[in-house]
Amino acid sequence: MIHIAILGFGVVGSGSAEVLTQNRELIAKHCGEEVNIKYILDLREFPDHPLGERVVHDIRVILDDPEVALVAEMMGGAHPAYDFTRAAIEAGKHVVTSNKEVVATFGVELLKLARKHHVSYLFEASVGGGIPIIRPLQTDLASNQILSVSGILNGTTNFILTKMEREGADFASALKEAQANGYAEANPAADVEGLDAARKIVILAALAFGVLLDPNKISTTGITGITKDHTAAARALGGAVKLIGHTRTVDGKVLAMVSPFFVPSQNPVSHVDGVFNGILVDANMLGRALFYGAGAGKLPTASAVVADIIDILSHRAEERSLPQWRTATAEEQTDASVLVCRHLFLIEGCAKCADKATKALRAEACVGVEGGRYALISAPMTAKEARDALSELTVVLTVPVLD
């Protein structure tokens, strides 16, 4: 029997316990032995839960028990999750996590520490919920040069934008419905302001390019400024507005950003709706591959946590090769201002203004929308070049295009 501990018994922690319990026999076949949840660390008591007697409140109980081979951290937030993770690794225990904030902030340090202590630190559940994306980038696409990674990384914002697009809802009412359905927190700032997606795209950038950017310093724009007029303009041009995390290299430097993008209908990401996530990887040999599925939720995320547990325990006689990340220097990163792409503009004015804008932007498309406005898509250029071209016109919206 292999003993493990769970840190945090919230949505994902309790879901992981459910997966481990219900699929006990299947997991034992993969691992070669039964996996037993020996401890659950939480501040609360769970007297009515079948595993309630396994709850402890002191991390030292887990760290000092030599029988505990692996710790699954699902506490959320940076502290004490980081501190407990570090202590577990130093105690010679493998760690798996769903905590994107800890991975995005301390990933370089924790991976280095895990190599030093000959244990594993895995984090498949930190991006994309139940969608396999971390492991494919590390292993399945190892023979490819990653050109870019783009995707819908936050189910809450995708639900809101889908409501606005399909039903003509405004942002406030769509957010209220998301909260009523349990998709958004009472304080939704991390989601709607793009902070959650920023942490995730930083992790994906590190996997793709080997350097960990500071999630607090990348260009991040949320969806609070998007209105139903904007989604209507996108629909008129045959696509949708989506909150996208995007990373690529530009002139040898790593660019990572989060922003509302116009996604044309021919791009498969445009059809990822509701609370689902879709991550598009562009590789030099494979081409484009879309990873799609439930990006959040109790059991989808828990399934990714347990997949990491199985991966470690089924290969525990082997020492894993962990990612070799380093903290990005100022010379290794760049910002969204250098991105050359098409842009969607929504402008106010007469038909003559629309003609002027079409010529200035070398626009490929221009359509009239309600309220005397025009939506058009520029030729590839930087955002500054596009704004400068329309300096004499009234611009209601500017978003990059994800081709």
Nearest to residue 60, comparing CAs of 91, 38, 102?
91
The first and second tokens of residue 64, run together, are 């000092």
Buried b (16+ CB within 10 A) or exposed e, 231-257: bbbbbbbebbbbbbbbbbbeeebbbbb
Which domains, ranges and CATH numbers included, belong to the chain?
A: 2-129+298-326 (3.40.50.720), 140-294 (3.30.360.10), 340-400 (3.30.70.1150)
Tell me, yes or no, if the pTM score tops 0.85.
Answer: yes
Q: Which tens digits make up the pLDDT trace of 150-194?
A: 999 999 999 999 999 999 999 999 999 999 988 898 999 999 999
Percentage of the chain modeled with pLDDT above 90: 89
Digit-coded pLDDT (tens) for 278-306: 999 999 999 999 999 998 889 999 999 99
Residues taking part in catalysis: 200
Summary mean pLDDT of the chain: 95
Vertex 378, ends 229 and 240: CA angle to 5°? 40
CA distance 171 to 179: 12
